[in-house]
Amino acid sequence: MQRRAVQSRRMLRYDGHPELARAIDGQRGLVTRRQALDAGMSANHVAGLVRTGVWVLVRRGVYMPADLWRALDPYDGRARARARAAHLQMRAAHVLSHECAARELGMPILTPDQEVIHVTRRGAHAGPALYGVKHHLAPYQSDQVVVVEGVPVLDAARTAVDMAREHGYVHGTVACDAARQLGVRLSELWEAVAPMTCWPEVTVVRASIQDSDAGAESVGETLGRMLLREIGMGPIQTQFELRDHSGWARCDLRVGRHLVEFDGFKKYQRQERGGLAVIDPDEVVWQEKRREDWLRGYRLGMSRLVWADYWGARRELTKERVRREYEATCAAYGADISDLAHLIVRRSA
């Protein structure tokens, strides 16, 4: 019965047209109005599918079966679908770039306040976003283009530097960290910015590259590192790791004998709800407490950060709290960690 239900939904979304089945399956659920008409549908039939909720209008002239649309993550998956819909409608040669490329490449980014679809073209006229699409006139090399499921996008190194130029230092540093987490070498980021000698905001790009760190494993960790620098704490080590016969722990950030952990909400959510926890969240909390107690047993202090700590008036309060906790650690234990040398797990370069 379940198999028949699945087949029924497939027939409904394709409405019995095998050409549409191939188009939808090959375009991550998207289908254009032209493809539907070419498959034999009438304009009224297409309008009826949208009106009855069988199809969702993703962008003018581009649709997606409603069940596929509902299954997409509202922040990442649907943004990717809208960018791909714009790509299907464009006739001029282009590549997806900036945050659109980052999403296709799996780069965690700090999402800009306004969703804009970015494309980069050779020989086009750059200007303000029109119908939600911003066209960038910016040269790029063929070897900077990668194809993700049929969609051409700029690679991670170029995407990171584009994010810095377009959105500023904070977004750019997050993107550079993310690129390095994907395996992009620091030298590749410098190579990507090298031709941009006289480009606007190139100094911002250089600052983002200079301050990037391959150890940041999330946007929250990058923002935490920036917050510590604002306080004046340093030098900052990412992914500080200790191990003995009874336990093991890896921490996001370390300054002297003070550790700083970023707690994302997903850490405490079950996987079936979109989180990272494979066990009961209460067990996650208990294990996290035992882990912190184990670390503190080695005369280490700790501050914990959450997403809300980075924004608005709470940011200044957080900086005051972390500075106070750091100073308490220094007063109690000092800053030298040479006594822990035999327990520190060294990361390979």
DSSP structure string for 196-263: GTTSTTHHHHHHHHHT--TT--SHHHHHHHHHHHHHT----EEEEEEE-SS-EEEEEEEETTEEEEE-
What is the average per-residue pLDDT within 76-92? 94
pLDDT reading at 2 higher than 60: no
CA 94/CA 274 separation, integer angstroms: 33
pLDDT band of residue 288 (cuts 50, 70, 90) is confident
What is the average per-residue pLDDT within 321-340? 97
The residue type at 20 = L
Tokens at residue 214, please? 């391959």
CA 105/CA 84 separation, integer angstroms: 13
CA 106/CA 104 separation, integer angstroms: 6
DSSP state of 340: G
> pLDDT tens digits, residue range 178-206?
999 999 999 999 999 999 999 999 999 99
The residue type at 188 = E
pLDDT band of residue 283 (cuts 50, 70, 90) is confident
The residue type at 211 = D
> pLDDT tens digits, residue range 233-246?
999 999 999 999 98
pTM (predicted TM-score): 0.87
Q: Looking up tokens 């031709």, which residue turns up?
A: 195
> pLDDT tens digits, residue range 85-109?
999 999 888 999 999 999 999 999 9
Whether residue 178 contacts residue 103, with contact meaning beta carbons closer than 8 Å, is answered with no
Phi, psi of 43 (to 5 degrees): -60, -40
Helix axis angle, 156-167 relative to 98-105, nearest 10°? Answer: 140
pLDDT of residue 270: 52
DSSP state of 168: -
Tokens at residue 30, please? 């998207």
- The per-residue b/e assignment along 200-225, b for 16 or more CB within 10 angstroms, e otherwise, is ebbebbbbbbebbbbbbbbbbbbbbb
Selected residue with higher pLDDT from 79 and 91: 79
What is the average per-residue pLDDT within 308-329? 97
